Amino acid sequence: MRTQQTTAALIALTLLASLAACTPLRLTMDLRAADDGFTQSEVLRDAGARKSSPSVALIGITGMIADVQTPGMLGSKPGIVDQVASQLRSIEHDPKIRAVILRINSPGGTVTGSDILHREIRRFAESSGKPVIASMGEVAASGGYYIALACDEIYAEPTTITASIGVIIQTFNVHDGLSRLGIHAKALTSGPNKAMGSPLEPYNAEQVALLQGIVDRFYARFRGVVTERRGDKIDPAKLDMMTDGRVVIGEQALELGLIDHTGGILDAYESAKQLAGLNKSRLVAIHDAGSAPRSPWGALASADPTAATTDQEINLVQLRLGATSAMPGVGFYYLWQPPVLP
Q: Which residues are catalytic?
A: 142, 194
In 105-204, where does DSSP find H-type helix? 111-128, 143-148, 175-180
Helix crossing, 111-128 with 205-230: angle to 10°? 20
Long-range pairs of 126-132 with CB within 8 A, sequence gap ≥ 24? 127/92, 128/92, 128/93, 130/92, 130/97, 130/98, 130/99, 130/100, 130/276, 131/99, 131/100, 131/272, 131/275, 131/276, 132/99, 132/100, 132/101, 132/102
**Which residues, 6 or more positions from 104, have their beta carbon under 8 angstroms from its beta carbon?**
61, 134, 135, 136, 137, 140, 144, 147, 148
Distance from C-alpha of 119 to C-alpha of 208, rounded to nearest angstrom: 30
**256 to 179, 225, 248, 251: CA distances (angstroms):** 49, 16, 10, 9
With CA atoms as reference, report the closest residue to 70 among 325, 281, 278, 256.
325
